[in-house]
Amino acid sequence: MEEKMSRSIANAIDYKGFPADKSKTGGWVPAALILGIEFCERLSTMGIAVNLVTYLIGTMHLSSATSANIVTDFMGTSFLLCLVGGFLADTFLGRYKTIAIFALVQTLGTCMLAISTRLPQVRPPPCEGNPTNTCKKASTFQMGILYISLYLIALGTGGLKSSVSGFGTDQFDENDEKEKAQMAYFFNRFFFFISIGTLIAVTVLVYIQDEVGRSWAYGICSVSMFIAILIFLSGTKLYRYKKSLGSPIVHILQVIVAATRKRRLQVLNKYDKGLVLYEDYPESSRIRHTDQFRFLDKAAIVTDEDYGSNGSVAPNHWKLCPVTRVEEVKMVIKLLPIWATTIIFWTTYAQMITFSVEQASTMERTIGGFQIPAGSLTVFFVAAILITLAVYDRLIMPLWKSWKGKPGFTYLQRIAIGLFLSTVGMAAAALVEVKRLSVARAAGTQSTTSTLPITVFLLIPQFFLVGSGEAFIYTGQLDFFITQSPKGMKTMSTGLFLTTLSLGFFVSSFIVSVVKRVTRNGDGQGWVGDNINNGRLDCFYGLVTILSFINFGLYLLCAAWYKPQTGRQKEDMQMECAVKSSLDEEC
């Protein structure tokens, strides 16, 4: 019996609901199956997003601005819906069912998109003669079919992405040093699979869309997702599952409401013997009381009103919450400063897939007799991510472990490195734009977008720096939000992390709109006007660099203020022992 108990994992069950056996569940095999479905999701989503604007302009006959907004809204909504997926997984479905259901939804949306690009009834007729006069825009019905397809995909992506990383880490036991080290490698390999999927999407799938047919490319996405679902389901018996602990949003609201109702009470020192804090969690899953955000402690103070007629505490969680639940809310609040200071990175990222591509379209891109498509410059971005991950995984992590005894940089250090590299990347982009504009003026092509006599490879440093920054910040954010969130809120916190991507795009749009309005001159041309040769994109990049630098300083302050929950628990135990010793009590 003791041997069987030693092989079981706390808070984890198998597919039958029994305690998970460490020798039969979890580890790298089921984790690899989970990585497989994430790879196919990235292949599918990016294979559609990166080349969708050309379909909207060339086939649906929409304007450039409208097409760009549709793509931006599609990507932003995909990440915002991660919050919905995280809520459902933590509250009702669990991560396994959430992944399976929303993967099917995404497959359905991709299949619908493949069919809609094939059938002439859901596309406007081709242009005849002069496109400006004879191109018929897509009808309301045709756009409706397109929107349904895209937002089914967005819904599937949101639900899927919010649970995949959390379910992957569920396969490793944090209390086992060996498996805990494996979890650190999992975060890097998770992002490596995402990057490989993106690389194949922007090369192979884009080529198939342009040269063979979009319906074929989208069909490949549908089939790959369906196969990935079957492979994922095949590992049902191998997975470790965590039970849903109720709605995290309701738990947060209960603590806030209870603390507000008892706002007139005084919170004493936590070691004062007169302070009675309610706790009903089992000893093994309790979180020790901390001194941060002491106002919330009022939610756990037991008053006369909390006692029932039989003399025992009869808690109504809207009036009295256990200490552990209060501490969970504190943990979520502590995540928010780090969350807020990482949004600007994704604003920088947005420049790499918008203005940097527009820069490339004006520069010399010919190698021999082949001209590199401007959009394909993102290959350098993805290559930087893959190279950085490989170097970090195979070189830096082993060296760091032998030197410091830790498997690589901490999550806060990785986020800091990512923010720093993106700031330097934007500074490099500003310098390159200064050079490009000087060539444009010398060539007398300010009023046109003809090819300038300057090589496009000058853009590689900014792609490489921001790409390397993404490799660090994505894995660091993922690690931070999963390991530092309460156990019952890990999926929701992953969704919170993914909203930084969405908000980064929206902040970028906001900054562009403000800069365009403030810097507009008499002819309507500002820093980011219609013609970048007449604009001052270098000044705009400089502004983003300054904002990134200020944000980096704020992040360092937030990182210095943040105290990991595990470290805080040890500190509290030591402090509590010291207090008890002074009172001649046993520690």
Q: Residue 165 and residue 195: Cα distance in Å, rounded?
A: 15
pLDDT of residue 7: 65
pLDDT, tens only, 106-118: 999 999 999 988 8
Domain locations along the chain: 8-127+136-244, 248-329, 341-564
Q: Residue 157 and residue 384: Cα distance in Å, rounded?
A: 25
Q: Is 203 buried (19+), middle (13-18) or exposed (0-12) by CB count in 10 A?
A: middle
91-95, 281-285, 502-506: range with lowest mean pLDDT: 281-285
Q: Residue 137 and residue 126: Cα distance in Å, rounded?
A: 10
Which CA distances in Å does 176 have to 7, 22, 533? 11, 10, 58
161-170, 514-523, 571-580: range with lowest mean pLDDT: 571-580
Reported CATH class of domain 341-564? mainly alpha
Residues 254/255/256/259 CA torsion (nearest 10 deg): 120
CB count in 10 Å sphere of residue 8: 15
Architecture (CATH level 2) of domain 8-127+136-244: Up-down Bundle (1.20)
Q: Can you name the residues that pair with 301 across neighbouring β-strands?
A: 277
Residue 293 DSSP code: T
- Structure tokens, 350: 């947005």
- Structure tokens, 79: 């990440």
Residue 169 identity: T
Q: How confident is the model at residue 428 (pLDDT cuts 50, 70, 90)?
A: very high
pLDDT of residue 587: 41
Contact at 8 Å (CB) between 124 and 137?
A: yes
Q: Can you name the residues that pair with 241 across neighbouring β-strands?
A: 13
Identical fold for domains 8-127+136-244 and 341-564, yes or no, is: yes
Residue 10 DSSP code: E
pLDDT, tens only, 444-479: 755 444 677 888 888 889 989 998 998 899 888 888
Q: Which of 478, 483, 510 is nearest to 495 (CA)?
A: 478
Residue 577 identity: C
Beta-strand relationship, 370-371 and 452-455: unpaired
pLDDT of residue 246: 66
